[in-house]
A = this chain, B = another copy of it.
Amino acid sequence: MKAYKDMSKAELLALKDELEKEYQAFKDRGLKLDMSRGKPSKEQLDLSMGMMDVLHSGAELTCQQGVDCRNYGVLDGIKEAKELLGAISEVDVDKIIIYGNSSLNVMYDTVSRSMTHGVMGNTPWCKLDKVKFLCPVPGYDRHFAITEHFGIEMINIPMTSEGPDMDLVEKYVSEDEAVKGIWCVPKYSNPQGISYSDETVRRFAALKPAAKDFRIYWDNAYSVHHLYDDDQDVVLEILDECEKAGNPDMVYKFTSTSKISFPGSGIAAIATSPANIAEIKKQMTIQTIGHDKVNQLRHVRFFKNLDGVHEHMRKHAAIMRPKFEIVLKTLEDALGGLGIGQWTTPKGGYFISFDSMKGCAKAIVAKAADAGVVMTNAGATFPYGKDPDDSNIRIAPSFPTVDELGIAAQLFVLCVKLVSVEKLLETI
């Protein structure tokens, strides 16, 4: 393979002609495929259908504490649900609150509460002139949407292969009292599939924030979402590390079963220090009488324990693995050595991250869309939707079938080639 940058103008023009013909052929097929969102496929949803049967009209719906789960009561979740999600989150039951169906909602509420009531007696953020969040990039668009919604200034922090650039994180957090938080997806990050190294976690735990109300928003979205049985990432438990480092209250750890059982019909949780738990519960008792305990019980009866979850996730992995692999193989086969793109090879999670040549991502995504393949909007992985290099594209292989993905990935690499050639021709 000859790298594109080493090609002459004539070679590029010839290549462009050829690629345009291929592209037109794709267009003529009238494809309609979607690689835009991290949505489980139908086969994955089918894995949890047994959950529909564990509670039936003859079932006993009383939880361990002796409470009838059908009635009011139990603000912070039934004990057995705390045990299950505590195991997934690697914390004890005294460090977890069970919520409703969405961890995103828990994160939103956490920011919202900080705006209106402040964090542990500190000034409510809505009374401050400026509040800032650090945003490792590329990252999750819905995180950035929350902070943007509340008018919080977002600062890009580049990701490395070990997690966020900790030199920068340490500098901002220790020097600027307006920095109140950082969005993290520590394991199989969205979209790169990077897991934070032990050193990264330890440096997080040892932060010396200028702001007393600085908190790490640790979105443990893919904690048990491995692709392989024998090659899995392990991330140090952040609450433990923070406690050891004398920062016991510095982390909110979020999790949910959205991509374990059913997205939208799962259960979510926050894991944090007992002091934070106590503060959160004071507000929660005003907001609700309690979350859906019947659904909590349904999850516990179906999964039983962490072993049950792992067993279940192996079935998810069997469905996801070939999807990741066909995309990665297509990228490697078509783009390897061309010098027009780089990508990650995650061992878990829901995404592959692709970086095109600078200034090409928007055009690639637009070209794919024109030929019937929807990708996540270019820029979406950055605060305010602005990728300064216009190069990052998130690939979400979960929803289409393997066959569809094969086709979609072929079209994608073709668009990458075509846009790259056009870009190079501009400057030659």
Residues of chain A whose beta carbon lies under 8 Å from any beta carbon of chain B? 37, 39-40, 42, 45, 48-50, 52-53, 55-57, 59, 68-73, 100-102, 104-105, 108-109, 112, 115-117, 124, 126-127, 142, 145-146, 149-150, 258, 262-265, 283, 286-295
Q: Are B56 and A42 in contact (CB under 8 A)?
A: no
Task: Return chain B residues, CB-CB under 8 Å to A73.
Answer: 264
| A294 touching B262 in the complex, CB below 8 Å, given contacts A52-B57, A57-B49, A105-B287 | yes
| Beyond A40-B71, A102-B289, A262-B294, 9 additional pairs, beta carbon < 8 A | A50-B57, A52-B56, A108-B287, A115-B126, A116-B150, A126-B126, A149-B283, A265-B292, A292-B292
Cα A59 to Cα B45 in complex, Å, equals 13
Q: Which residue from chain B places its CB closest to the CB of A51 in the assembled complex?
A: B57
B104 lies within 8 A of A287 (CB): yes
* 21 residue pairs A–B, Cβ–Cβ below 8 Å: A39-B72, A45-B70, A70-B263, A71-B262, A71-B263, A73-B264, A100-B101, A102-B289, A102-B291, A104-B289, A124-B126, A142-B286, A146-B286, A146-B287, A264-B290, A264-B291, A264-B293, A264-B294, A265-B292, A265-B295, A295-B295
Q: Is the beta-carbon distance between A292 and B101 smaller than 8 angstroms? A: yes
CB closest residue in chain B, given A102: B288
A71 touches B292 (CB 8 A): no
Residues of B near A100 (CB, < 8 A) are 100-101, 291-292
Question: Which B residues are in CB contact (< 8 Å) with A265?
Answer: 69-70, 292-295
Q: Which of B108, B292, B294 contacts A286 (CB 8 A)?
A: B108
Bound: A287/B116 CA distance, A: 16
Please name all residues of chain B whose beta carbon is closer than 8 Å to the beta carbon of A150 when the two chains form the complex.
116
Set of chain B residues within 8 Å of A126, measured between Cβ atoms: 115-116, 124, 126-127
Distance in angstroms from A364 CB to nearest chain B CB is: 25
Most buried by B among A42, A283, A292: A292
A264 CB, min distance to chain B CBs, angstroms: 5
One of B45, B262, B288 near A104 (C-beta < 8 A): B288
Are B264's CB and A101's CB within 8 A? no
Flag if A52 contacts B55 (CB, 8 Å): yes
Question: Which 9 residue pairs of A and B lie closest in terms of their CB atoms, listed nearest first?
Answer: A265-B294, A126-B126, A49-B57, A108-B287, A45-B70, A72-B263, A149-B286, A70-B262, A105-B288
Smallest distance from the beta carbon of A224 to chain B beta carbons, Å? 19
CB distance from A367 to the nearest CB of B (A): 26
A40 to B289, CA, bound (A): 14
